[in-house]
Structures are given as structure tokens and as C-alpha cells.
Amino acid sequence: MENLICPGFMAAGVASGLKKSGGKDLAIIFSKIPAKAAGVFTSNKVKAAPVILDMERIQSGRCQAVIVNSGNANCCTGDKGLDDAKTMARYAASGLGISEDLVLVCSTGVIGEPLPIDKIQQAIPGLIDSLRPEGVYDLARAIMTTDTVPKTISRQGKIDGKTFTVIGVAKGSGMICPDMATMLCFICTDIDADHELLKNLLYNSTQRSFNRITIDGDTSTNDTVIIMANGLSSAVIKGVERIDYFQNLLDDVLIDLAKQIVRDGEGATKFIEIYVKGALSDNDAHKIANTVANSNLVKTALFGEDANWGRIIAAAGRADAPLEEGKINILFDDVLMVKNGMGCGKAVEAEATKVLMKPELRISIDLNMGKGCASVFTCDFSVEYVKINADYRS
């Protein structure tokens, strides 16, 4: 297992009784000194209480701890929900001996049920007692809902001869468009960076990672990505070159976590990149890639390993972006299935079907009109997805 330790950070995860299964459901990240912080939150107009709280608190650019629960989204819970989120932060702050303004809160789980704040209160002392540098893996487990595996990453870099670390933890496997049944991501680093810069870096990486994945086209009320930078490495991000260097590293970290989420998509059996090129703009390419990646007909055909490219071209055709049918080429990995809008015959289809049997593949759609391109990562749509989501709360 990779080394999930970042200097100055500790984490923990325990069971507080929120999950019916009795599994870990309450977690915390703590930085021994207040860290610079930035966040990206759901675009859904219905926002969970902790999201509303965090969006306000993060404006200070500082954060020392994040407390997270799974099993309950604390969403559509009114004034009581907002009070509960604040109370959760206050209990954590008091246990840690820090100001409550420095504590952020995240929740994930069922929408519309009151947060069992008493259970959380009772569990917080034990949670704080179990804080340790290697506790990140427990955190990763405690924030899982329908996830089947924890999602973590660790990277090191060097700036001006100083080694720094970035670790990341994420959860999410349904209601992912992104923005939902919640995608959560926490990044801890000992780099030093200005708050505004950190905000931009995080926004850019989020655009290139979590905003490029889709499992079911649904968008959560609770999605949150938080970065905390405590500066303990003395490596400072300053100047174009260092900024680019760190941006690339952060992109890698977030893209890796985003792909881990897609691989663990509810009921997924395959990981698919939908790559659109030759569009009039990157934005057009993204619209088309997204429409194809969200098409139930495309995704069920992928599950059935059926090289039904007609559904791909039909989905592309209903996207809100220009295309000319007679110019479209479609490849399954390196197999050219469609040339100038027409199929390349049964022999090629047999080759394409072989590609479809692979657990990871790329579908390229070349519009042959311009230079715009974009990739979206998605998974297939299986019988299991329906079963998981028909029975989620029972």
C-alpha cells in the first residue's frame, strides 16, 4: 500500500452508528497548524447544510480540520440542519482545542433525514483520540457509501530542492456527473501557497478531473473538494514555472482520483474514455463527449459488449453542438468502426467487439471540422446499477 502520510497532517475514522452496517462513518483530518485552504462545491441549487457552511467559512482561506460523516447527507434539513452542521464543527473544534471557524464539515448519504447529531457528539472524543499520521486510510474507509473500494493517492514533488508531499482521498460511485450521492475529495499538502493561488490551482484541476467524469448524469447536493496546504515543507509555489509544475502535479492527483471514482462506478464493469476531437471548439467537444457518456443506450450497449455505433452517432447528433454526419469517424481504441458517417462493415465490427471485451477502452469520435477536443471518463451501465439504486435505502 502506498504511503499516505503528509507532514503535519493526521487523520482518523471510526464507527458512530450512522451506517446501518455498523461500519466506519465518521472521520476527521487535522493539520497541526492552520493551513491555507480552498474548496470547490456542488453547482446544484439544492445544497446540503455543510456545503452552505463551508462555502462561507472557506472564504477566510484558512482551515485546520475537516470533520466528515457518511450515512446521512444533512441535506433538505432546514435551519436545524445548518445548526447541526455548526454543532458538529463546534464539538470537533472543542475536542481539538482550536477555533470552530477553522473547522469545515462534510456529509454524504441519504438526503432529507435529520442528522443524528447525538451519535456524532458521542463519537467525537474517540475519533480525536485515534488521530494519527497514518490515519488517512481509515478516513478513506469512513467516507465510503456505495463505494466498494477506498480511493487514495500520494505524490511527492520538489521545488527549489525542497521535497513536498500531496495526498488525496476521495469517495463517490453514484449520483456522479460529477456533482452528487456525493463526490467528496480531500487534498492535504505541505506546500506553501497563497490562498488565491491555491483557489485557482484547485479550480483548474477540478475542471480537468472531476468535471470530466460521469457515471449516471446526476449531480449531488453535497459535492465538495477541499485542499489544505500547511506549508511545512518550506517549498513555496511562486512564479510561472513553479505554478505550472504544481498545477500539473495537482492535475495528476485529481485525475487519478476521478478515474478511481469511475472505476468504482455503481455496477460498472468497464472504464471508458469518450474522446471527441475535430470539433469547432473544446466546449463543443466537451458537450458531445458528455452527451455520449451519459446516454443510457450507449452505456447499456457497452455493458452488453455490443459494437452498436449507431447509438454513439445518434447521441452525438442530439448534443447541443454542430457536427456533420458525413464527416464523422469513430474508433474503438485503434479500430476504425465508422468512416465519413458510415459503418466499416462486419469484419471491422468483429474487431471492435474484441475491444469492447476489454475492461478499459477509448472511444474516439473525430468530427473533422476544427481543432476542439475533450475527453470524458465514464463506465458502462449494468443490471447491477439498477439493482443498487432500486434498493439503496432498504
Q: Which of 32, 238, 371, 387 binds its own copies (CB under 8 A)?
A: 387
The verdict on 149 binding its own copies (CB under 8 A) reads no
Q: Return the DSSP state at 72.
A: B
Query: Residue 30 CB, nearest distance to its own copies (Å)?
Result: 30
Burial of 33 (0-12, 13-18, 19+ CB in 10 A): exposed
Alpha-helix residue ranges (DSSP H) falling in the chain: 49-57, 78-96, 117-129, 136-142, 195-208, 240-263, 282-294, 296-303, 309-318, 346-356, 383-390
Cβ neighbors of 9 (< 8 A, separation 6 or more) are: 29, 30, 31, 32, 133, 136, 167, 188, 190, 228, 230
Distances (CA, A) of 61 to 75, 190, 239: 24, 15, 20
Considering beta carbons, is residue 46 or 149 the nearer one to its own copies?
46
Query: Residue 173 CB, nearest distance to its own copies (Å)?
Result: 12
Range in contact with its own copies (rule: CB under 8 A) among 94-102, 108-116, 165-173, 244-252: 108-116
> How many residues bind its own copies, per CB under 8 A?
66
Q: Return the DSSP state at 376.
A: E
Q: Which of 173, 219, 224, 230 binds its own copies (CB under 8 A)?
A: 219
The verdict on 110 binding its own copies (CB under 8 A) reads yes
- Rg over CA atoms, the chain: 22
Considering beta carbons, is residue 228 or 321 the nearer one to its own copies?
321
Q: Which of 55, 217, 242, 251 binds its own copies (CB under 8 A)?
A: 217
Give the angle 39-42-48 at the CA atoms, nearest 5°.
100
Q: Which of 120, 201, 301, 373 binds its own copies (CB under 8 A)?
A: 301
Q: Are 178 and 172 in contact (CB under 8 A)?
A: yes
Q: CA 249: distance to chain centroid? A: 16
CA distance 235 to 121: 38
The verdict on 376 binding its own copies (CB under 8 A) reads no
| Residues 31 to 60 in contact with its own copies, rule: CB under 8 A | 43-47
Query: Residue 295 CB, nearest distance to its own copies (Å)?
Result: 6
The verdict on 359 binding its own copies (CB under 8 A) reads no
Considering beta carbons, is residue 113 or 251 the nearer one to its own copies?
113
Q: Residue 394 half-sphere exposure, CB side, CA atoms within 13 Å?
A: 5
Range in contact with its own copies (rule: CB under 8 A) among 2-10, 82-90, 136-144, 384-392: 384-392
Active-site choice (108, 145, 182, 219): 182
CA distance 83 to 87: 6
Considering beta carbons, is residue 94 or 300 the nearer one to its own copies?
300
| Residues 1 to 30 in contact with its own copies, rule: CB under 8 A | none
Considering beta carbons, is residue 200 or 389 the nearer one to its own copies?
389
Range in contact with its own copies (rule: CB under 8 A) among 95-103, 159-167, 212-220, 244-252: 212-220
Q: Find cell 506553501 and name the residue.
A: 192
Q: Are 104 and 58 in contact (CB under 8 A)?
A: yes
Query: Residue 114 CB, nearest distance to its own copies (Å)?
Result: 9
Considering beta carbons, is residue 46 or 350 the nearer one to its own copies?
46
The verdict on 316 binding its own copies (CB under 8 A) reads yes
Distances (CA, A) of 263 to 16, 46, 214, 239: 28, 27, 11, 36
Q: Which of 2, 322, 350, 360 binds its own copies (CB under 8 A)?
A: 322
Query: Residue 349 CB, nearest distance to its own copies (Å)?
Result: 10
Query: Residue 204 CB, nearest distance to its own copies (Å)?
Result: 23
Task: Tell me phi and psi for residue 11, to 5 degrees.
Answer: -145, 165
CA distance 173 to 146: 6
Closest CA to 164 of 242, 226, 102, 258: 242
182 is catalytic: yes
Considering beta carbons, is residue 110 or 197 the nearer one to its own copies?
110
- Interaction site with its own copies (CB under 8 A): 43-47, 73, 75-78, 110-113, 174-175, 177, 179-181, 216-221, 294-297, 300-301, 303-304, 306, 308-311, 313-318, 322-323, 325-326, 338, 340-343, 381-383, 385-387, 389-394
For the annotated catalytic residues, the residue numbers are 182
